[in-house]
Amino acid sequence: MDQFRVTFSAAGAASDLWAFGEDELAETVLGFSDEELLAAWRQAAVFYRPSVELPVEGRRITLGHVAAFACMHQIEGSLRPLARQRRRPAKDVPEHIENGPGYLSSSRIHELYEEH
């Protein structure tokens, strides 16, 4: 079994989605349950593999891309190109996203992986 894991906070993923112009998805991610976040982490681990082609052209794939696509897949059930190829400036992230749900504790992350 592959043990590669990717974790990110809901606010971090929402910030990435917002940066790529996916405002509605960003708002949805802010309300993710722990189990929904775990499912997005697992999908992100798959998407982080070099053999997986994501719908990004002319850019290096970053963790921000991977988190955004994993959450998009969790919400929409499929992938499509992001609304923006270039990120919006980080200084413009809405305050409610920037101050959204923080990282789960490492013990809670471990519990989630063990429970599911």
Categorize the per-residue pLDDT at 115 as very low, low, confident or very high, splitting at 50, 70 and 90: confident
User: Which of the 8 DSSP states describes residue 66?
Assistant: H
pLDDT, tens digit (0-9, with 9 covering 90-100), for 44-96: 999 998 889 999 887 788 999 999 999 999 999 999 999 999 999 999 999 99
Residue extents of the structural domains in the chain: 10-115
| pLDDT reported for residue 2 | 54
pTM metric for this prediction: 0.88
pLDDT, tens digit (0-9, with 9 covering 90-100), for 14-54: 999 999 999 999 999 999 999 999 999 999 999 998 889 99
Q: Is the pLDDT of residue 1 over 70?
A: no
| pLDDT reported for residue 107 | 81
Instruction: Quote the CA–CA distance of 88 and 53 in Å, as a whole number.
Output: 23
Q: Of 101, 104, 90, 112, which is closest to residue 38 (Cα–Cα)?
A: 112
Q: Judge contact between 22 and 34, C-beta under 8 A.
A: no
